[in-house]
Amino acid sequence: MKRNWEGLVLKALGGRDFRLTVLRHEAVNGHYQRIRVNDGGLLASCELHPTMWIRLWFDNDGRPHQRAYTLVDPDPVGGEFSLEFAIHDGCAARWVQQVTVGDTIEATVQGSAFALPDPPPAQLYVVGDPASLPAVNSLLDAAEKVPAALWLEYQHDGERELPLRTRPDDQVTWVPRRDGGQHLVDTVRSALPAVTDALYWVACEARSTRAITRHLRRDLGVDKRRVSALGYWNAG
């Protein structure tokens, strides 16, 4: 598939391309699908880090379209990882619902970067939603001895049944999506404390992510080195 201008820009910025091969696929629930892929040498070529994501390229009615997905349970020795897809209208959802073992898809690694503070933080404060849940899980796996407080936005009850790798000391608050995400912003603003040696990780809808990040930096005075924020999708 011929790339558009986005592909050219990513290549100019040092993006590395790989071809993934589908090994198996399964339904997570009625709203999410998971596939396991051979990585085409990706994990051997790129430094693996928590919350790592890649860009997949889909054919959208003859035009290339890229979407970002977090690596789930990467296995560098076996050269495999999983990817999870929300099932809704769109070229990515159509592709994953029709995929069969042996199918391939192109991926680009560019832009993903994250590292836990050293020494580890005393506390994690996490704001996310189903789109960022694979990244949330990888963060919890990596920070296995750091207690976490999580606020997770959801749109339907089935999303609350998605796999969440919390530990016994973690606290989870599920927040229904209301008022275009403002309910999540208000809930988090009223609950988040300012803790000097904590890590604040925010990854939800882009406008909500920006509002929560502003609150952390301007209102609570959290050091920018203690805030990791990325808008995972746009409500439009």
Q: How far apart are CA 99 and CA 89, in angstroms?
A: 16
The label of the residue with tokens 């809930």 reads: 187
Question: What does the block give as tokens for 25?
Answer: 């696929």
Instruction: Tell me 144's DSSP state.
Output: T
pTM above 0.95, yes or no: no
Q: Do 138 and 158 touch, CB atoms closer than 8 A?
A: no
Q: Which residue ranges form the domains of the chain, and what is each CATH number? A: 5-109 (2.40.30.10), 123-229 (3.40.50.80)
Q: What is the pLDDT of residue 172?
A: 97
Q: What is the pLDDT of residue 4?
A: 64
Segment (H or E) for 173:
strand 171-176
Q: What is the pLDDT of residue 15?
A: 81
Q: What is the pLDDT of residue 11?
A: 63
**Alpha carbon of 2 to those of 74, 189, 206, 210: distances in Å?**
28, 44, 29, 34
Q: What is the pLDDT of residue 8?
A: 57
Which residues in the chain land under pLDDT 70? Answer: 1-13
Q: What is the pLDDT of residue 29?
A: 81
